[in-house]
């Protein structure tokens, strides 16, 4: 009797490749896994392909009928490493009431549901609103154990296919990144027509609020340099150390959150765009999105997005930091209405002191900083993209400006924080490494400053 032919083996799905940020372990990338086994006999798909496939499964429920009552529907887990190296895993399930629960480790909590999020925000009370992003309102949430988080809720009256795509885009982006100068992603909850993202709560407001004088503590020149370096680190990480690269598309002062130590965290990835995987591709063609005053003129003309589009927006941000003004000042005269044009004109005329934020202390050292930063901003704002520096170059230039300021500033000019450049007393090499993520060769390790 002939033996029946062996049944063909079914290949097991591949696992997303783990990539480590070449910085220190404190700033390592999150490892994202979407399967339990790997077929080592077959080529492992790219990390981006696995992520796309996983999120296609994750969001398939938005257009499908809800499962039967009592049926648990498991969705792939997302592991997000926190800033001290441990990992927080989230698994999303729909319970018998049709509500997604986010299981994970926010402040030791095993699991929370939409109802708990509802209570944590005081039934989404207006008094708990802390901001408004590109497509949703952000609330402060407090769990039973006292843990705080920011709860981003998609506006119901705006929810459509377009916003569904934006929502998926933000989830996809947040799940891939982990950097001390980027807001941490805790999880996602879906309940009926509710779409909610849970992220790190940063208590000290936005950079725009600080520049407008809303907060009691005014930012001195050293602190503004630290913030610029933090943002440059974060965006450099997105451009160079995510796979594939990520273009933020909406870098602006109201998207920069300030910590209690006056450090910066870049937020709001609603407009972020995953760059193409083709290494020979030079740009992405896409619908123009962003904020007036920050948009790359070439992007507006050609609809072609590159990492230099973020560099342009960063140049606008640098001008804001030095002048204190918003990108567009409608109450100013026509000559002063566009802040970047006005500031560049003052730089050209040698009148930097007139462009300097009046809240900043005047001194030869601080004036020199403003001049150097505006010159860097001028490069970032170059009409031709090839003429603009990379974000890594921007970070390196800012670091040198910060270091020089620490050596030349008068007492009282520099920030008293341990991050200030005047820490170079004693072991300068150790301080550069510990506080700014710099090696002795002046090349970045890209841990947070």
- So which residues are the catalytic ones? 250
Q: What share of the chain is helix, strand, coil (3-state, %, to 5)?
A: 40, 15, 45
Q: Is 20 left (phi over 0), alpha (psi -120 to 50) or beta?
A: beta
CA distance 186 to 120: 15
- Please return the burial class of 250, using the count of CB atoms within 10 Å of its CB with bins 0-12, 13-18 and 19+: buried
Q: Is residue 372 a known part of a binding site?
A: no
Contact 441, 428 (CB under 8 A): no
Q: Which has the closest alpha carbon to 92: 175, 16, 201?
A: 175
End-to-end, the C-alpha distance of the chain in Å comes to 73
Contact 311, 251 (CB under 8 A): no
Output the six-digit token pair for 158: 């705006």
Residue 188, H or E segment = strand 185-191
Q: Which has the closest alpha carbon to 259: 210, 320, 308, 318?
A: 210
365 three-class SS: helix
CA distance 420 to 70: 56
- Binding-site residue numbers for ATP are 156
Residues of the binding site: 156
């Amino acid at each position: 009797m002939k033996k029946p032919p062996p049944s063909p083996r079914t290949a097991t799905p591949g696992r997303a490749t783990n990539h480590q940020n070449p910085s220190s372990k404190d700033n390592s990338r999150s490892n994202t896994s979407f399967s339990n086994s790997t077929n080592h006999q077959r080529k492992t798909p790219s990390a981006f392909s696995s992520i796309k496939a996983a999120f296609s499964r994750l969001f398939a429920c938005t257009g499908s009928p809800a499962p039967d009552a009592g049926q648990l529907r498991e969705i792939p887990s997302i592991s997000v490493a926190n800033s001290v190296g441990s990992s927080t895993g989230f698994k999303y399930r729909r319970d018998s009431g049709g509500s997604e629960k986010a299981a994970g480790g926010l402040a030791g909590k095993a699991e929370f549901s939409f109802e708990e999020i509802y209570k944590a925000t005081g039934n989404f009370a207006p008094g708990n609103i802390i901001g408004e992003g590109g497509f949703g309102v952000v609330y402060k949430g407090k769990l039973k154990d006292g843990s705080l988080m920011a709860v981003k809720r998609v506006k119901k009256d705006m929810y459509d296919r377009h916003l569904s795509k934006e929502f998926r885009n933000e989830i996809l982006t947040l799940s891939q990144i982990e950097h001390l100068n980027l807001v941490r992603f805790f999880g996602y909850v879906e309940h009926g027509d509710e779409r909610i993202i849970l992220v790190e709560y940063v208590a000290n407001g936005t950079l725009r609020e600080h520049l407008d004088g809303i907060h009691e503590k005014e930012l001195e020149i050293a602190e503004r340099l630290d913030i610029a370096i933090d943002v440059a680190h974060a965006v450099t990480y997105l451009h160079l150390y995510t796979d594939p690269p990520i273009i933020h598309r909406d870098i602006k002062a109201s998207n920069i959150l300030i910590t209690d130590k006056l450090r910066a965290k870049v937020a709001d990835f609603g407009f972020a765009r995953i760059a193409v995987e083709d290494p020979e591709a030079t740009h992405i063609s896409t619908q123009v999105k962003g904020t007036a005053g920050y948009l790359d003129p070439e992007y507006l003309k050609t609809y072609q997005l590159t990492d230099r589009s973020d560099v342009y927006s960063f140049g606008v941000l640098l001008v804001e930091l030095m002048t204190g003004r918003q990108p567009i000042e409608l109450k100013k005269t026509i000559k002063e209405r566009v802040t970047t044009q006005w500031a560049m004109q003052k730089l050209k005329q040698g009148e930097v002191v007139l462009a300097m934020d009046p809240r900043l202390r005047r001194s030869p050292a601080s004036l020199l900083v403003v001049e150097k930063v505006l010159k860097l901003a001028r490069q970032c704002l170059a009409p031709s993209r090839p003429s603009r520096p990379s974000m890594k170059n921007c970070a390196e230039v800012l670091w040198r400006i910060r270091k020089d300021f620490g050596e030349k500033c008068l007492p009282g000019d520099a920030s008293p924080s341990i991050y200030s450049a005047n820490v170079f007393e004693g072991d300068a090499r150790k301080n550069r490494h510990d506080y700014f993520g710099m090696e002795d060769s002046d090349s970045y390790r890209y841990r947070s400053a």
